[in-house]
Structure 1
Amino acid sequence: MALRLVADFDLRKDVLPWLRAQRVVSEAAGAGGGGTDVLENDYESLRVLNVERNGNIIYTYKGDKGNVFFGLYDRQTRQNEHLYTFEKDLQVVSCSINSERTLLAASLVQNTKEGRRNELQPGSKCLTLLVEIHPVNNVKVLKAVDSYIWVQFLYPYVESHALPENHLLLISEEKYIEQYHIQVTQEDGNRVVIKNSGRLSKDRIAEDFVWAQWDMSEQRLYYIDLKKSRSILKCIQFYADESFNLMFEAPLDISLSDSGFKLVNFGCDCHPDQKKLSKHLTLCVFTNNTGSLCVCYSPKCASLEQITYSVFHIHKGHSKTFTAALGSAGSHVTKGVTFLNLDYYVAVYLPGHFFHLLNIQHPDLICHSLFQTGNNEMIAMLPHSPLQSLSGCLVLDCCSGKLYRALLNQSYLLRFLWNTCLDCEKMAVLHCVLSCGQGPRVLEAQIIQWVSENVSACHSFDLIQEFLIASSYWSVYPETSNVDKLLPYSSVLTWNTEIPGITLVTEDIELPLMKVHRFKGYWEKLNSNLEYVKYAKPHLQYNNSVVRREWHNLISEEKTGKRRSMAYVRNILDNAIKVISNLEARNLEPRLMPLLQEEDNHQRLLVGLMVSELQDHLLRHLQGVEKKKIEQMVLDYISKLMDLICRILETTWRKHNLHSWVLHFNRHGSAAEFAVFHIMTRILEATNSLFLPLPPGFHTLHTILGVHCLPLHNLLHYIDSGLLLLTETAVTRLMKDLDNTEKSEKLKFSIIARLPPLIGQKICRLWDHPMSSNIISRNHVTRLLQNYKKQLCMLLKDMTMWTQNL
């Protein structure tokens, strides 16, 4: 399965054995109650209540007398701790603990029989309490109302440290959110009590909302209120002190007027009344550290044949609505769509029907996302119970009490890459594997193996081009923000091929209105993304058009004997030397192929020009980044590009077990050599259209293999069409290796006739043959005549001037 769920916590394994052990100890001591009042058959009452920002998990269970116990599991120490016991038969709605584990907030409902009044607070359905638990001390009633209440402590820091004031959010079913400020003090040593217990100060955070989501990791509150039937998404950012800011307002083209009241990530809500509300409606907000902001929305299911969901890429300024055909015919949909945050991707799935991986970082083309319909493997791997997406890549199965870390399954994706026949799936999986690659060297080796054996398998795009561009991009992407706007991440500009079973509609959306003007961290990156959507036209992504033009100018100047200042050319060649040195330093294994071992000034000029132009491009648009960092990024990027080409060739060379004798001309080509020649030709075609540099020595090896494998007329056609470039090294070796038989002489003459004049003059002296002497003589006479013409012109000019003076 493309999604791998790694269990990070399990109530059965991490809590239940401790509870049973506590019971044994308690029975041996002849005591009862406390945290030990649990029977072997009471596991059904054990459930997770909340996962706090520091990873601690709060759970609850009931003893044989109906008492409610609260426990905490510390994921760092893997230790359990009993927090508090309510000696009443209560149902827990919500619970949270502060970071110091001194205060417990709980919202409870009395389990009343028919005709029996609530003993906790007459006339109220839900009671919200604040309990001092270090040590167990006073209990303060915060709310006693007829509506449900949810509680959540703010965690300004992940680290554990003492705070003079705690902040608690209260979320009411009556559609308002309040923040309580709780001052604490220490008495009698470690005894922590509430300082302002008589009257807690509070702020009204939000009201009249229909939906709210809590982001524990980033301490953000998202909520939606309705203004003139429009859904307005708002976000409040909480800070280390008691301050908070309304960050933005964003209109959403969805209707929530008849969807009831919905909360996301305010604890682990399993209350049956909540399940009745907005059945099958799913709405959640996902962000990542690159400044992305996505709203995922799936309305109530109205069809048994297809399901529709939308993703609002607010950081890109558009939304995408997908309509997916259900994979299992005749199977009824009993649960809604689940969205999971996987950093650069969002997983969307309906167990037994479909599983989609949506590319959030680059959503422009549908082929960058993966769409799979249901199969037995998918049904077996994904839980059928709803999963709750928490901060980061954590997901919680409330029904089983398991906390998972959701990861993309690289081994599955690599197998899928080998087996799939659809171009769209090859494209999607290639990007997916590269973006999440742990151990990139080993991972790339497997992808390179696949690329080298499937170079002609894709019809909608060039596989080598896509691999070179995508892998080079992801190798430098994490180093700095905004690189995705400046470097190409795909060789494909448009995609018109249909995806089986998927219909896509893309629409522009209104950009959010930022309510603050000074940004830090995530908000600075989001604002940068929004500014790019507003003002970045034309496209700022780098391309090699300037390099192409300048390179052709330099080659033309070389042919005519004119060359601009040596300092300019030397600087370009120095850039190439830096790239090759950087490339060699990163490669720890000796190379099998004779690459990077000759001058090949043309390729070195191309490498150096690309370094120069790419540096200028990034320096122009990457504001606030050090020049040295940009220079190193450019070296790494181009070194990566050339290293990938070398590794593709090395993989093919090693597969066919070729050796150094291939470099000699006095032998016939084999099927193995033809395979290497074929892939080199494909690499040349791929790089030529993008105007990417090749490792020095590439053209020499390509020419040698071409002489081995091609008939003479085909070889000459390849040379004339530019697919084979004659280098001085290759032709020198050809002249030395081949004898003077009629066939060899014909080949030598055909090659010499096609050489540039400067190289031809050097090569002719290596061929001891009348034809070579004839060419040398002819060239010598030509030069003499040219010099004579120049001298004659100068003489005539001088005579003309002398005559005029007379």
Structure 2
Amino acid sequence: MYNDLAVSYSYLGTRQNKKAFKTSFLNVINEFNEWKPLGQERDGSFIFSWVHTKEQESRTHIGIYEYDKNLLSPVYSFPKKVNCTQASTNSDKTLLAFVIKETDEETKESTYKPYLYKIGTHFDDAYDWKLERNRQIMVQFLYPRVSVLSENQPAKLLVLVHHEYIFQYQVKLKTDNIEDDCLSQETLVGKFLWAQWDPEQQTLYYIHNRKRNRIIAYSEGEEESNAGNDKITPTLSGLQFNDEVPHETVLNIPLNLPHLTVSTSSCLIYEDDAIPLRIHDCSLDLIVLTDPNGIVCVCHHYLYQPIQPVVDLKDEDSSPVHFAYSVTVLHQSCVLHCVIPDIPWNKAKKIRPLFKIEGDHLLIIIPDICTHLLDIGLIHEPCCHVTTKPLITETQLLYLAPIVPLEHGSVLNLANLDLISLEIPTNMLVDTFKSDTLLENKLSILHYLILHSGHMDTASELILWQSERPFTLGYPQMLKEYLIATSYAAVQRTLPTDANKLINLLPITSQKIGFEYEIQQDEYIINLSQDVLWNASMMLLSPQQRIVPYRTDIWVKLWEQLAKLSKGTQRFKPSQVVEKLMVSLVCYQPEVLSRCSTPLSPSGGASSTLNDFLSNQCNKRNQVDALPFFEIDSCTASKQEHIISVNLRELSMHLLKQSTENRMNKWQWQSQTPMHVHAVATRYITAQLDQSRQLCQLLCKAATYEPRLEMDKGFIFINNLSDERRLIFFTILEKYYLATESIAFPVPQGFSSFFTFLGYKTLGFDMFMQYVNRNVFELQVDVMKIIMADTDNSKAGIQAKLQMLTALPRSRAKRLLNQWSHPISLMLRAREHSLNILSGVAGPPLGRSQGARRNKGYRGLTAFPSNENMSPLDTFLDLLTAKASLTDIDFGLLIEATEASMEEAMMNAK
């Protein structure tokens, strides 16, 4: 009978066009048309109906398409053309339940009728429930975990009648014919407003009215004074079906459902869409999306008029309405709201948004308006949401539906049965980043590329592109996001599995949680906000209350996720280190510190991981040094080591404190020991240094530095730069410095001196000293030597040198004064030497070699007899000898300073 249909055809012709269920065979023969999906089961198989026209006679057929076998098998044939709206088969494909919709041509009223059929018997033997309603009816078989039912195990079937009840039937066949005594009935739910079947989790969600409990989840800002009233509120409940044990209510969520008041027609209008299986009318567009890892999102789409009083709108009315949706991210205990105002009613009522979970994100496609990537994953709190241009612009013949996963990122277009891939193209994100979009949107795109999609090269290219516009508002913030995200990603790749719980305490983004923003997308303004849910765990059935306690399923994972949130664990904040450094750097004296107590010392307190990393970095630098300066600090203990030391201490203490406070929570922290804390902390500090250096290389490349072409490095490289390139270098590296300072990231060794000299050559001296006085520029010994040599000995030059020396720590200034061969240096050192002797703070005695070198060529006191004009010197030297022994007085220095002072006085007199 079905020889012309029993064909095994190839799914898709090519993966490019994604034509899911149309074949060349079916396209050629016009006898088969009006293909319609009736449902999808847990095993991925589809149920289709089609119309077979032959000799001017049309008949409707039902078949099962097994995706994995690529086979379409007809199972039922009607004697005429009918409107079959939905169907379901049991797991061993022996029973078929379907619903017929009949419409009266005169009254235009529709009637739904369900039937049950044993596959393989005569078509007239289909069992009629004698159930006729003008409200939507759907049927669904339950699928056990085992693939094949035993002979004595009855099949379970749900029958849903909108606004009336939900029945569960157990079908146990005694003969080939289905009789009344083969069915046993159980009422699961009374009157309900909406229902949805989740084939993957075997969960039935439904909305019904119930009295509000005293302890419920509130959105932030909602008054708790209403908690004890008896108000009837809509509640979303979830029935979990199990194989051997009865079903159980695992979920109860009170809902806030804005009423759709812009429609004048009756709400008893049904779309009759069987994928996903939802029974609802036009008054409520809601869908629940889940992931086996414990992700649960309740997505609600609605339209409303912001202006009161509300007016009735006709179909072709172009009055503006607000297009809105809310997503209750249950596993993160928050609600995301999106409102797009001023959309014409005749356009807004036709837009059907698609909600689909893609990894750590919820993909929301609003045709012709925008595409959202809401960050709703488990690894961190929702905060990095991406808004980009519409992924789909053609709304005609388009109705996308999420399906049981067949291929990654694919959805079904119910209008033409195309299987469409909805992966967000990377080039679309790049275009959005380069557009005039909001800063938070750019940060979210960087976050997505680095941590979720793994496109590190693309993120680096965007940083290079943005570096060509360094004066853009928020450019340092982008560098901060890049540093934090790449450091987290580096730790995530190398962290041992037994310490992976602690990674949830590391910084992951620079963005704030729960902020509101408004973004312009073409001619539309998109508002996104976030509210917090309180007592979210009260919505769930706890694991110990389950029929089978602690059974591993989505609801136990969801409970554990909410329990982790309730513990109040906090991520480490870079601001903690910044605050410590603000205090410690005031008394920071690198000349008097030793490397033996710094984490970069081979014999110090660092782990072997950090030392190995530094050794590898040195080997890499010996091969190709991509930085325009030598990675060497001249001081005994560099500022880089100090920052790393404070980071390591603060992060270790934070991880240890958080893991200790939560140790009683065995499922989360039982394997976390101080050794794990040490491993995570050292790896993160290592990643900080590594990523900071890589970003510096990237920015130097953006500043036109090519290491294979440049012959010079360091200060010589800066001297040879043109004024234009020098300004570009300074502008970009200044933003890099601001980014690293604000999040306490270490910079490569040698950067501080290079940056200081670059600023000296780029800025005016007064501006340069402002940077010095505000601790932006560090006047280390190496950079001070080159600046002192580069500054002439004119009056202005000498004043500049003295001003810089005054800004230095005392010990560093004395070292530089000793190396400055100028009369001013002699006079300053002589005055300090005399002051120390007269005040009783004489320094250590000069060695013989030094004293001999000082007094060589001078006659000491005999050089200035008392009868000459220099007699005051004799009196002054007598005063000094009365205060200190001769070995403590540097006569050579005093005499040289006196001669220099006299020469300067004579020059000024002339």
Q: TM-score w.r.t. structure 2 length?
A: 0.67
Counterpart among 628, 632, 646 of residue 609 in structure 1 = 646
Range that drifts further, 397-406 or 564-573: 564-573
Shift of 1:716: 3.0
Q: Does 1:446 align with 2:461?
A: yes
Q: Which whole-Å deviations, capped at 9, do the CAs of 1:149-202 have from their partners, x for residues lacking one?
A: 433344555x967877585441321544445567899xxxxxx99999974667
Pick the aligned partner of 1:227 from 210, 213, 236: 210
The answer to whether the aligner puts 1:415 opposite 2:464 as a matched pair is: no
- Tell me which of 103, 106, 123 is aligned to 2:94: 103
Rounded to whole Å, the distance in 2 between the matches of 1:251 and 1:265 is 26
Q: Which residue is 2:568 aligned to?
A: 536
* C-alpha separation in 2, matches of 1:579 and 1:535: 35
> For residues 53 and 248 of structure 1, what CA distance do their matches in structure 2 show?
21
What per-residue deviation string (whole Å, max 9, x for no partner) do you get for residues 414-435 of structure 1?
Answer: 1121122544543454445445
The 3-state SS of whatever aligns with 1:408 is coil
Give 1:331-480 correspondences, 5 Å limit.
Answer: 332-343=347-358, 344-348=360-364, 350-353=366-369, 355-360=371-376, 368-370=384-386, 380=393, 385-391=398-404, 393-434=409-450, 436-438=452-454, 440-458=455-473, 462-473=477-488
Flag the 1:535–1:293 CA change in 2: closer, same or farther, 3 A: same
Aligned with 2:738 (options 671, 680, 685): 685
Deviation per CA, 1:348-401: give whole Å up to 9, x if none: 45434555544445999999545578xxx7663566633223356543221111
Match of 2:316 in 1: none
Contact (CA 8 Å) 1:215, 1:391: kept in 2 or not?
Answer: no
Q: Distance in 1 between matches of 2:825 and 2:272?
A: 84
> Aligned AA for 1:253?
N
Match of 1:646 in 2: 693
Q: What corresponds to 1:696 in structure 2?
A: 749
Q: 1:536 to 1:74 in 2, by over 3 A?
A: same
Task: Give the aligned partner of residue 86 of structure 1.
Answer: 77
Separation in 1, partners of 2:620, 2:672: 23
Structure 1 residue 53: Cα displacement: 3.4
User: What is the distance in 2 between the residues matched to 1:441 and 1:779?
Assistant: 57
Tell me how far apart the structure 1 counterparts of residues 477 and 112 of structure 2 sit (CA, whole Å).
65
Distance in 1, Cα, partners of 2:822 & 2:67: 83
Amino acid at match of 2:115: T
- 1:263-306 Cα shifts (integer Å, max 9, x gaps): 99854579xxx7xx632631112345674533222335557312
Residue type of the partner of 1:151?
V
- Is 1:312 the equivalent of 2:328? yes
From the superposition, tell whether residues 583 and 326 of structure 1 become closer, same or farther in structure 2 (CA, over 3 Å): farther
Aligned length: 737
In structure 2, which of residues 295, 298, 301 is the aligned counterpart of residue 298 of structure 1?
Answer: 301
- 2:555 equivalent in structure 1: 523
**Consecutive unaligned residues in structure 1, runs of 5 or more:** 1-5, 22-38, 116-123, 186-191, 791-806
Question: Does the 8 Å contact 1:222/1:234 carry over to 2?
Answer: yes
Please report the TM-score for the alignment, with normalisation by the length of structure 1: 0.75
Q: Deviations over 1:553-604 (max 9, x none)?
A: 4883756958899499821586753664687899999441157933563212
Contact 2:756 2:779 in 1 (8 A): yes
User: Are 1:545 and 2:576 matched, yes or no?
Assistant: yes
Shift of 1:62: 2.4
Equivalent residues in 2 for 1:252-331, closer than 5 Å: 252-254=255-257, 267=275, 278-279=281-282, 281-288=284-291, 291-299=294-302, 304-307=319-322, 308-327=324-343
Q: Distance in 2 between matches of 1:98 and 1:146?
A: 23
- SS of the aligned residue for 1:49 comes to strand
User: What secondary structure, in the 3-state scheme, does the structure 2 residue paired with 1:715 have?
Assistant: helix
Change (3 A) 1:595 1:261: farther
Distance (Å, rounded) in 2 between the aligned partners of 1:431 and 1:405: 23
| Secondary structure in structure 1 of the residue aligned to 2:300 | strand
Counterpart in 1 of 2:159? Answer: 171
Displacement of 1:684 after TM fit? Answer: 1.5
Q: Secondary structure at the match of 1:726?
A: coil
Which structure 2 segments of 5+ residues have no match? 1-12, 212-231, 261-265, 306-312, 314-318, 545-549, 660-667, 846-910
Is residue 250 from structure 1 mapped to residue 281 from structure 2 by the alignment?
A: no
Q: Secondary structure at the match of 2:328?
A: strand
Q: For the structure 1 residues 98 and 365, does the alpha-carbon distance in structure 2 shift closer, same or farther, using more than 3 Å as the test?
A: closer
Q: Aligned partners of 1:765 and 1:285: how far apart in 2?
A: 77
Report the CA distance between 1:230 and its aligned residue. 1.0
Distance change >3 Å, CA 341–CA 49, structure 1 → 2: same
Distance in 1, Cα, partners of 2:176 & 2:842: 104
Of 510, 513, 517, the residue aligned with 2:539 is 513
User: What is the distance in 2 between the residues matched to 1:104 and 1:75?
Assistant: 19
Which residue in 2 is equivalent to 1:597? 631
User: 34, 38, 49: which is aligned to 2:38?
Assistant: 49
**Deviation readout 1:726-773 (Å, 9 max, x if unpaired):** 3455446667x8698769888776655544345556666766667677
Partners of 2:168 and 2:814 lie apart in 1 by 86
> Structure 1 residue 231: deviation in Å?
0.8
Distance 1:502 1:268, change over 3 A: closer
Distance (Å, rounded) in 2 between the aligned partners of 1:761 and 1:297: 72
Decide whether aligned partners of structure 1 residues 255 and 94 sit closer, same or farther in structure 2, where only a CA change above 3 A counts.
Answer: same
User: Which structure's CA Rg is the greater one?
Assistant: 2
Partner of 2:715: 664
Q: Secondary structure at the match of 2:719?
A: coil
Q: Tell me which of 203, 208, 211 is aligned to 2:194.
A: 211
Offset, 1:720:
2.2
SS of residue in 2 equivalent to 1:691: coil
Q: 2:770 aligns with which of 698, 703, 717?
A: 717
Q: Which segment drifts farther, 318-327 or 198-207?
A: 198-207
Q: CA deviation at 1:91?
A: 3.5
Letter of the 2:433 counterpart = L
Q: Label 1:585 to 1:217 Cα distance change in 2 as closer, same or farther (>3 A).
A: farther
CA distance in 2, matches of 1:363, 1:567: 33
For 2:824 and 2:271, the matched residues in 1 are separated by 89
Alignment counterpart, residue 30 of structure 2, candidates 23, 40, 45 = 40
Q: Are 1:489 and 2:509 counterparts?
A: yes
Q: Which has the higher strand share?
A: 1
Q: CA–CA distance in 2 between the matches of 1:160 and 1:589? A: 59
Kept in 2, the 8 Å contact 1:340–1:348? The answer is yes
Percent of paired sites with the same residue: 19
Instruction: Give distance in 1, aligned partners of 2:626 and 2:757.
Output: 16
| Counterpart residue type for residue 42 of structure 1 | F
Q: CA RMSD of the aligned region, Å?
A: 5.1
Verify the 8 A CA contact 2:361 2:373 in the aligned structure 1.
yes
Deviation at 1:711?
3.6
Assess if the C-alpha contact under 8 Å between 1:93 and 1:149 holds in 2. no
Task: Give the secondary structure class of the aligned counterpart of 1:93.
Answer: strand
Q: Does 1:145 align with 2:146?
A: no
Offset, 1:82: 1.6
Give the letter for the 2:42 counterpart: R
Rate the CA distance shift 1:253–1:462 in 2: closer, same or farther, 3 A.
same
Q: Secondary structure at the match of 2:257?
A: coil
Q: Please give the per-residue CA displacement for 1:196-219, whole angstroms capped at 9, x wherever unaligned.
A: 997466765444322122223333
